[in-house]
Structure 1
Amino acid sequence: METVALRCTNCGAPLPKPQPGEEWVRCEYCGFLNKVVDAAAYVERLRRDLEKWIRELLPATMISSTVADLTARYQIFQEIIKPKVMMARSNIRAKYLLYLSSPLTPIPPPSFSSDDPKPLFEETLRIQTIRDFAVSEDDLKLVQETIVYGNIAGYLLNAIKALSKFDVKSALKNIEEALAGIPEDPGLNLVKQRLNAARSVLTALSLLYDRDTQAALDIAKTGIDQYNMLLDSVGSSASPEVSRGVLEAEKMVAEIVYKISEASHEFFRAGRDPLEVLRFVEAYTKVFQLIRETYKRPLSDLVEVVENLRRIVLAKNGSSQVYVVPGSGSFYLPFYVVESRFSFVKGMLLKKGVESRLTVLVSAIAPYAANPVTD
């Protein structure tokens, strides 16, 4: 019954070890500032609750006299403990699947969850206290699965709460901790791949906040590649942990982060603060969320907005993409590719009010002819 490590009084996750003489310690998972004495009192109360739970679950004579007897421990687990563990596993797994059923991204932010992660972490600790009674392979698997689902669900809920507030670093810490708790199990491989991809995207955003634009660009590209491989693995199969629709939404966000990283890197190369781009996206994301909820607009709209932002940043800094059209001659003629959007107010063949687009080439050098614009 090891509960020595301090735990957050707000979310129940383990706290970092306080330094000697330190009176306050911040939770790395929910950001709550804990007074050390309060955290110690919470752990002590948790210890007493666990001892009380064990006494209520198992008579004292069973605990003291039969703990060394494998046959007796097996019988105790089957008759008394297993029904409670199975019920706990069912409830915890339902939460685990619920938190995996929506995109784990800050763009757009997930809906704020009113669930409390503390009961998940506390329930997981209860299950850990009776692990020694699981002597058969099937019983041990049941206990371990319940512990894994409980810890992952707790960290996922913390991550969702952080993402709803655009707290990227706290969300990243929780995703990393959830990943650390996933064992080598073929049944959890797809979940591990998904969380690894989400970690790449959040890491790229975290690096952007640290103004490390080149590293952000590289790891955002890695995230896109991870989602592509994951989508290939999933195929058309339906799974609550790795739903194809959710994965496609997360991949779109990975592409958005890549475009933001590219624009931010260009700002950095031009001697400007790369956070300008990220702050614009943060502000616009709130507007987009309102538009999305009101008019049911798809996430692809935000992808298009960020792509246009990227193009503007690259063009203004003289780093727009250059396309070479094969031809004849001994020198190149540079042109701007300009796209114009408009709608018709009247016309027989063209529908009134429908948006049309016209792409033209505009000479990028002093014109050699009277009219430099060509179709």
Structure 2
Amino acid sequence: MGDQPVKVTKRARARARVTMADVARLSGVSQATVSYVLNRSPGQTITPETRERVLAAAAELKYRPATAARTLALGRSGVLILHANTVSAPTVSGPFFSGLSERLKAAGWVLLPHLDLTEPAQEHLRTLVHTTSAEAVLTVPPLRLASDAFADLGVRVVQLITEEHWSAANAQIADAQIAHLVAAGHSRIAYALSSGAAGGEAAEQKLRRADTRLAALARPAVVPLRWDADLPGLTRQLVAAVEAGVSAVAAADDDVALAVLAAAHRAGFTVPADVAVIGADDSPLGALFTPALTTVTLTLDEKGLDWMAERVLAHIEGNKPATPAAADASRTRTVVRDSA
């Protein structure tokens, strides 16, 4: 840890409640490091000198964990709720959730996932917030809640990922899909997405990005395929696209990609010989189909997860979170299987 301690003003020390951010500033380390030290989190590479500096700063400031103070004063539990729907669920599942949960647990917080398939879902979420005495609700675009949605309960809403990073992530996925298909020799490419509101902003962003990437590569414009739970209709669109020279289809998510595989089978096409298919989000079902679905998944490395935890902690403590460049927030990985 090469951070150097900085001076904390008398005004900061005189506040009614000392926060973890104050301890971090005085000791010259990040809030995450303070959390690891104060919660004795195992498996962290923290030098003895840094640990002593954090403990000394906490003692000097008479720091008390915010969760304990709030539980005593307000009857709250230190619970955070991660709110997702069918569109944002792939973003917040698996390694992302477990990694973020572990980091917040080290800081004394419990993270609960909440997946609601209905629109609007706010009343059910309100009941959960009340029942668990949650202190904050975390959301991920495109699911949005007003910042004061639960103000009457004393609960804040924190947008876990900024709009900039969300749009950048959609662009990264589309870029990776097009790059994989073009590298495989495909020139005329279709993009499949759910029609209407079901497709959502993410799908439309990916469609536009795919078209932009193909134009930059001097390839023909993307051919949109709209899926509205009508397999015969999607089959007709796919047949027309293939007859027009399309040899590959990228899909906004794996659910739509699997629908394209079904349409290809219905049309008598062989995948990938007649038409290649690539999805997004790496749904577990994709590996079970024949042919197994090639897909693109978005991942956060350890640094990205640390930043995400810092963002949450900063919001909870009432501080302005640091914002890295959008390109540094996430990485794509292409899971190559049989379909493309």
For the aligned pair, the TM-score class normalised by the smaller chain equals: under 0.3
TM-score (norm 2): 0.23
TM-score (norm 1): 0.22
Tell which structure's C-alpha radius of gyration is larger: 1
The structure where helix makes up a greater share of residues is: 1
The structure where strand makes up a greater share of residues is: 2
